[in-house]
Structure 1
Amino acid sequence: MTTTIGRTVLLCRDLDASAAFWADGFGFGTLFRGETEGFPLLHVGPGRVDEPGLWLVPLPDGGAPLVRHGLPNLVLYVDDLDATLARLAAAGVEPFVGPDADTESGDRFAHVNDPDGHRVVVVQLGPVSDPA
């Protein structure tokens, strides 16, 4: 049996601002934009519609995002942390943690917030050692 993650849902105040963050900072494309029973939905991601992505869903009028108490909403693996942080900086987004490195694994990481305060941990994995 194979199980894969399809989508993660993020609540947002402004679909366009959120879509711009994911496009400008991470290169995500719009995979679907439409409505279901009058409710707007936006699916963005780095690949195809059948690969993992994000459903950006507007908050109900007057709604507030869930408080995460400092916990991340999402962890993304990138090929080049420095290039990703440069793209984010060009979009006006700076990390509030890092960039930093784990000396044991060689992983490099930084934490950023999207326009709605969702904490995103951006990780460049270190070299994977052969366990043998």
Structure 2
Amino acid sequence: MKTLFVSYRVTDLDRSLDFYTALGYAELGRVALGDGAHLVLLRFPEEPAASLELVHRPGDGQVDVGSGFDHLAIQVEGLTATLKRLAKAGLRPGALQYPGGPGGPKTSWLTDPDGYRIELVEWPRSHGSGITPEDFA
């Protein structure tokens, strides 16, 4: 088994697509569900398949993100440059943080238009991609 993608319900599809394309996602495809509802699948250009789905059901009203979901983590290369690019695109990423100390990962947080939190992570050069069992040794 493997995780295919994360799915977010969004209030305003155009506003959310503007946000996620500014973040770096590209639209892979969309499905009209009727009554103005849509599924839009996104991926980063270097990903082989979809990694995020936006679900827009206007008849369901506002999105409540207080359902227990905490955040989406996205690995980036060059977090400082990424933060500058995002700010230039009109997004408001938080300050650069070093939660594991100066030799650990660099992180920053931002929030999408519906209130979903996103953690941007740059691993140290000596660290592999993602979190593995070795991170808990």
Query: Which band: TM-score by shorter chain?
Result: 0.7 to 0.9
Question: How far 1:83 moved relative to its partner?
Answer: 1.9
More strand by proportion, 1 or 2?
1
TM-score, normalised to structure 2, is 0.76
Aligned match of 1:106:
104
| 2:77 matches 1:66 | no
Is the CA contact 2:65–2:116 (under 8 Å) kept in the aligned structure 1?
Answer: no
Aligned residues: CA RMSD: 2.6
* Aligned residue pairs, count: 126
**Percentage identity across aligned positions?**
26
- Residue segments in structure 2 that go unaligned for 5+ positions in a row: 129-133
Greater shift, 53-62 or 105-114, is seen at 53-62
Alignment gaps of 5+ in structure 1: none
**TM-score, normalised via structure 1 length:** 0.79
Matched, 1:33 2:30: yes
Q: Return closer, same or farther for 1:128/1:48 CA change in 2, 3 Å cut-off.
A: closer
What is the Cα deviation at residue 66 of structure 1?
Answer: 2.3
Structure 2: which amino acid aligns with 1:103? G
Query: 1:127 maps to which residue?
Result: 125
